[in-house]
């Protein structure tokens, strides 16, 4: 299986300022990878380079094995791109626009009609085929934008802030559609909205000031700040001193009359010790779970480290 996206030592400079510096990214399977960062972090620059809109200053980008700079036509056959502002011609009908974008992708003309019908059905647009795009709601315009990005069945779909400006109902529909697209494509989704990344993405890459500051699974991102803590719920809550007596526990934070946060030494697995102590002392353990750090805290911590 070939690598869908491979970025090696990617850097880009505007005048004397580096927008992106030494990024290395690899995507090998379908699913959604989140590209997270505050406004101005370098996300859109990175996506524009990946999609061949902008030539990088340094480094290499390979799409399904094709160099975007050296083999742009072959590379772009494997890319679907939805920029932050969808590239819609609003005086076109949906049918006219999708036929137009299929031709832009140099698709086999004998396959375009079937491809248009398929993508309209997939994106919930069939009943609006003859409607002018300017008469569509924001949510349906976004669906048309996603449709043009997948009409040629690319290996990689790049979505830049795809849920910006949508109302709550439109957000739900857009998320559902993006998840469906990710079943058949690798999706790189950019956002500065932490909750969107959390809801949609399997893995997350975070860049700040043009540099990568995190690249791992969503679970690892959740646990970044407090990897050595857990939450326990006990019907008969003991004293702090009794909880501190559990082997490996270093600190206790009482949250409610029945719940406490236990901090423990790195590398320790204290689950069994907690269960044993509860049974021995009749604390009546109700729940034990990993302590998930708030995404906002992780985001702030990584941003501060980058700035430093």
**What pLDDT digit, counting tens, does each position of 31-72 carry?**
999 999 888 889 999 999 999 999 999 999 999 999 999 999
Strands 79-82 and 58-63: unpaired
Of the CA atoms within 13 Å of residue 19, those in its CB half-sphere come to: 19
State what percent of residues in the chain have pLDDT above 90: 71
Nearest Cα residue to 295 out of 230, 216, 224: 224
Answer whether residue 124 is part of any domain. Answer: yes
Query: For position 192, what pLDDT does the model report?
Result: 82
> CB neighbours of 121 closer than 8 A, spacing ≥ 6?
none
Nearest Cα residue to 14 out of 45, 59, 60: 45
Question: Which of 16-20, 133-137, 287-291 bottoms out in mean pLDDT, i.e. has the lowest?
Answer: 287-291
d(CA 217, CA 10): 22
- Which H helix or E strand runs over 280? helix 271-281
- Whether residue 117 is predicted with pLDDT greater than 90 in this model: the reply is yes
d(CA 19, CA 17): 6
Domain boundary among the residues 196, 222, 248 is at 222
The model's pLDDT over 272-302, given as tens digits with 9 standing for 90+, comes to: 899 999 999 999 999 988 766 555 666 666 6
Q: Given pLDDT bands bounded at 50, 70 and 90, which one contains residue 1? A: low
Query: For position 203, what pLDDT does the model report?
Result: 94
Structural domains in the chain (count): 2
The model's pLDDT over 220-266, given as tens digits with 9 standing for 90+, comes to: 887 665 557 888 999 999 999 999 999 889 999 999 999 998 988 87
d(CA 279, CA 292): 26
135 and 61: one domain? Answer: yes
Q: Given pLDDT bands bounded at 50, 70 and 90, which one contains residue 84? A: confident
149 and 253: one domain? Answer: no
Query: For position 298, what pLDDT does the model report?
Result: 66
> Which CATH number do you get for residue 288?
3.30.70.100
The residues facing 82 across adjacent strands are 159
Answer whether residue 76 is part of any domain. Answer: yes
The boundaries of the domain holding residue 243 are 229-292
Q: What is the mean pLDDT of residues 98-104?
A: 96
* Two tokens, residue 64: 């399904």
Most confidently modeled range among 89-98, 158-167, 284-293: 89-98
Answer whether residue 297 is part of any domain. Answer: no
Q: Which residue has the tokens 């910006």?
A: 164
Query: For position 303, what pLDDT does the model report?
Result: 66
Query: For position 32, what pLDDT does the model report?
Result: 97
179 and 263: one domain? Answer: no
Answer whether residue 308 is part of any domain. Answer: no
The residues facing 5 across adjacent strands are 27, 63
Answer whether residue 48 is part of any domain. Answer: yes
Greatest alpha-carbon pair distance for the chain in Å reads 76
The model's pLDDT over 196-218, given as tens digits with 9 standing for 90+, comes to: 888 899 999 999 889 998 999 98
Answer whether residue 23 is part of any domain. Answer: yes
14: helix, strand or coil: strand
Q: Which residue has the tokens 């979505």?
A: 159
> Which CATH number do you get for residue 53?
3.40.50.300
- Whether residue 24 is predicted with pLDDT greater than 70 in this model: the reply is yes
What's this model's pTM, rounded to 2 decimal places? Answer: 0.77
Output DSSP code: residue 301.
H
Q: What is the mean pLDDT of the chain?
A: 90
Q: Which residue has the tokens 């679970």?
A: 219
d(CA 233, CA 257): 9
Answer whether residue 135 is part of any domain. Answer: yes
CA distances from 196 to 55, 116, 202, 236, 252 (A): 29, 29, 12, 38, 32
- Whether residue 16 is predicted with pLDDT greater than 90 in this model: the reply is no
Query: For position 294, what pLDDT does the model report?
Result: 53
């Amino acid at each position: 299986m070939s690598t869908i996206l491979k970025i090696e030592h990617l850097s880009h400079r505007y005048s004397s300022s580096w927008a992106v510096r030494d990024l290395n990214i690899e995507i090998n399977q379908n699913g959604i990878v989140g590209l997270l960062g505050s406004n101005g972090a370098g996300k859109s620059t990175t996506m524009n380079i990946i999609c061949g809109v902008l030539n990088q200053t340094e480094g290499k980008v390979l799409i399904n094995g094709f160099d975007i700079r050296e083999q742009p036509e072959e590379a772009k056959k494997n890319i679907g791109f939805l920029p932050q502002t969808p590239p819609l011609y609003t005086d076109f009908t949906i049918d006219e626009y999708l036929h137009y974008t299929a031709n832009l992708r140099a698709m086999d003309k004998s396959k375009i009609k079937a491809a248009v019908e398929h993508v309209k059905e997939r994106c919930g647009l069939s009943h609006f085929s003859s409607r002018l795009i300017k008469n569509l709601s924001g949510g349906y315009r976004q669906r048309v934008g996603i449709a043009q990005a997948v009409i040629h069945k690319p290996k990689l779909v790049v979505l830049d802030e795809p849920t910006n400006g949508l109302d709550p109902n439109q957000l739900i529909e857009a998320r559902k559609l993006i998840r469906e697209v990710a079943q058949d494509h690798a999706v790189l989704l950019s956002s500065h909205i932490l909750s969107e990344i959390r809801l949609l993405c399997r893995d997350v890459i975070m860049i700040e000031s043009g540099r990568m500051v995190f690249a791992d699974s969503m679970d690892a991102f959740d646990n970044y700040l407090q990897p050595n803590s857990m939450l326990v719920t006990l019907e008969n809550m003991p004293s702090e001193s009794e909880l501190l007596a559990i082997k490996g526990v270093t600190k206790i934070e009482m949250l409610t009359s029945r719940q406490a946060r236990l901090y423990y030494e790195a590398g320790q697995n204290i689950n069994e010790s907690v269960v044993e102590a509860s049974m021995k002392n009749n604390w009546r353990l109700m729940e034990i779970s990993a302590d998930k750090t708030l995404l906002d805290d992780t985001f702030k911590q990584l941003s501060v480290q980058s700035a430093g």
